[in-house]
């Protein structure tokens, strides 16, 4: 009979490893984005301007503005003259893609 390894997580009751794997990961704000919005966010994180995103995705400036506005809303980024939403969006993308930092 195979034995399960046990893990203790802030609880004195051991939990079998196979049960831990079944627990879904914590939701990520980026999960709210459509695949196209994720592409746009990745390009923002790479430093592209709206014009650069237009060229990379072959879409109109109005389409890019719409995606950027939607991304900022879905990520619940604060608005105001003292806030750089593109920087905050990039930080959210980097937190969700930690391997991108090494590249």
Q: What is the pLDDT of residues 1-36, one digit of tens each?
A: 455 444 444 555 555 555 545 444 446 888 999 999
pLDDT of 43 reads 95
CB distance 91 to 29 below 8 Å: no
pLDDT of 59 reads 97
Write down the pTM of the prediction.
Answer: 0.69
Q: What is the pLDDT of residues 31-51, one digit of tens each?
A: 999 999 999 999 999 999 999
In the chain, domain spans = 28-102
Domain 28-102: assigned CATH number:
1.10.10.10
∠ CA 80-83-89, nearest 5°, is 115
What band does 82 get if pLDDT is binned at 50, 70 and 90? confident
């Amino acid at each position: 009979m195979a034995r399960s390894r046990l893990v203790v997580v802030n609880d004195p009751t051991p939990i079998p490893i196979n049960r831990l794997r079944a627990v879904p990961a914590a939701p990520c704000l980026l999960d709210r984005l459509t695949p196209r919005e994720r592409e746009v966010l990745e390009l923002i994180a790479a430093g592209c301007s709206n014009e650069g995103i237009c060229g990379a995705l072959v879409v109109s400036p109005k389409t890019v503005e719409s995606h950027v506005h939607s991304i900022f809303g879905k990520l619940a980024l604060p608005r105001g003259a003292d806030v750089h939403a593109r920087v905050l969006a990039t930080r959210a993308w980097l937190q969700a893609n930690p391997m991108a930092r090494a590249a």
